[in-house]
Structure 1
Amino acid sequence: MRVVAKFGGTSLGSGDRINRAADSIAAAVEDGHEIAVVASAMGSTTDDLLEEITFETDDADRAQIVSMGERTSVRMLKAALSSRGVDATFLEPGSEEWPVITDEYGEVDVEETQERGLEVADSLDETVPVITGFLAEGPDGSVTTLGRGGSDTTAVMMGKYMEADEVVIVTDVEGVMTGDPNVVEGARNVGEISVDELRNLSFRGAEVVAPSALSYKDGKLDVRVVHYQHGDLLSGGTSIEGEFQNLVDLRERPLACLTVAGRAIRNQPGVFYHLSEALADSDVNIDAVASGLDTVTFYVDEDEAERAENILHREVIARDELSSVTVDEPMAVVRVTGGELPNQPGVISDIVNPLADARINVHDIITSATSVAIIVDWEDREETLELTQDLF
Structure 2
Amino acid sequence: MRVVAKFGGTSLGSGDRIERAADSVADAVAAGHDIAVVASAMGSQTDELLDEISFDASDEDRAEIVSMGERTSVRMLKAALTSRGVDATFLEPGSEDWPVVTNERGEIDAEETQRRVDRLAETLDDTVPVITGFLAEDPAGNVTTLGRGGSDTTAMMLGKYLEADEVVIVTDVEGVMTGDPRVVEGARNVGSITVDELRNLSFRGAEVIAPSALVYKDESLGVRVVHYQHGDLLSGGTSVEGSFEHLIDMEEAPLSCLTIAGRAIRNRPGILAEVSETLSDAGINIDAVASGMDSLTYYVETSVAEEAEATLHDAVVEDESLSSVTVEDEIAVIRVTGGELPNQPGVIRSLVDPLAEAGINIHDLITSATSVAIFVAWADREETLDIVHEQF
Q: Which TM-score band (shorter chain)?
A: over 0.9
Moved more, 130-139 or 262-271: 262-271
May I ask how many residue pairs the two structures share in their alignment?
A: 392
Aligned-residue offset at 1:311: 2.6
- Residues 6-38 of structure 1 show CA distances to partners (whole Å, capped at 9, x for unaligned) of 000111111111000000000001111110000
Report the CA distance shift for 1:318/1:51 in structure 2 as closer, same or farther (over 3 A): farther
Moved more, 186-195 or 7-16: 186-195
Aligned-residue offset at 1:263: 3.3
Matching of residue 33 in structure 1 with residue 33 in structure 2: yes
Aligned-residue offset at 1:267: 4.9
Gaps of 5+ in 2: none
1:206 matched residue in structure 2: 206
Moved more, 32-41 or 356-365: 356-365
Matching of residue 355 in structure 1 with residue 355 in structure 2: yes
1 CA distance for matches of 2:261 and 2:74?
57
1 CA distance for matches of 2:151 and 2:262?
46
1 CA distance for matches of 2:323 and 2:53?
53
> Which amino acid is the alignment partner of residue 22 of structure 1?
A
> Which amino acid is the alignment partner of residue 90 of structure 1?
F
User: Taking every aligned residue pair, what percent have the same amino acid on both sides?
Assistant: 73
Aligned-residue offset at 1:54: 2.2
> Which amino acid is the alignment partner of residue 353 of structure 1?
D
> Which amino acid is the alignment partner of residue 313 of structure 1?
H
Moved more, 56-65 or 130-139: 56-65
2 CA distance for matches of 1:291 and 1:241?
32
Matching of residue 178 in structure 1 with residue 178 in structure 2: yes
- Residues 98-128 of structure 1 show CA distances to partners (whole Å, capped at 9, x for unaligned) of 1111111111111111111111111111111
Gaps of 5+ in 1: none
Does structure 1 retain, via aligned residues, the 8 Å contact 2:264–2:322? no
2 CA distance for matches of 1:346 and 1:301?
31
Moved more, 187-196 or 75-84: 187-196
TM-score normalized by the length of structure 1: 0.96
Give matches, 1:37-116, under 5 Å: 37-116=37-116
Q: What is the RMSD computed on CA atoms of the aligned residues?
A: 1.6
Matching of residue 167 in structure 1 with residue 167 in structure 2: yes
1:299 matched residue in structure 2: 299
> Which amino acid is the alignment partner of residue 345 of structure 1?
P
2:311 matched residue in structure 1: 311
SS in 1 for 2:42: coil
SS in 2 for 1:332: strand
- Residues 181-213 of structure 1 show CA distances to partners (whole Å, capped at 9, x for unaligned) of 221122222211111111111111111110010
2 CA distance for matches of 1:74 and 1:46?
14
Moved more, 228-237 or 269-278: 269-278
1:146 matched residue in structure 2: 146
- Residues 39-93 of structure 1 show CA distances to partners (whole Å, capped at 9, x for unaligned) of 0111111122222222222222211221111111111101111110111111111
> Which amino acid is the alignment partner of residue 199 of structure 1?
R
SS in 2 for 1:119: helix
TM-score normalized by the length of structure 2: 0.96
Does structure 2 retain, via aligned residues, the 8 Å contact 1:118–1:163? no
2 CA distance for matches of 1:235 and 1:250?
40
Does structure 1 retain, via aligned residues, the 8 Å contact 2:3–2:36? yes
> Which amino acid is the alignment partner of residue 101 of structure 1?
V
2:219 matched residue in structure 1: 219
> Which amino acid is the alignment partner of residue 206 of structure 1?
A
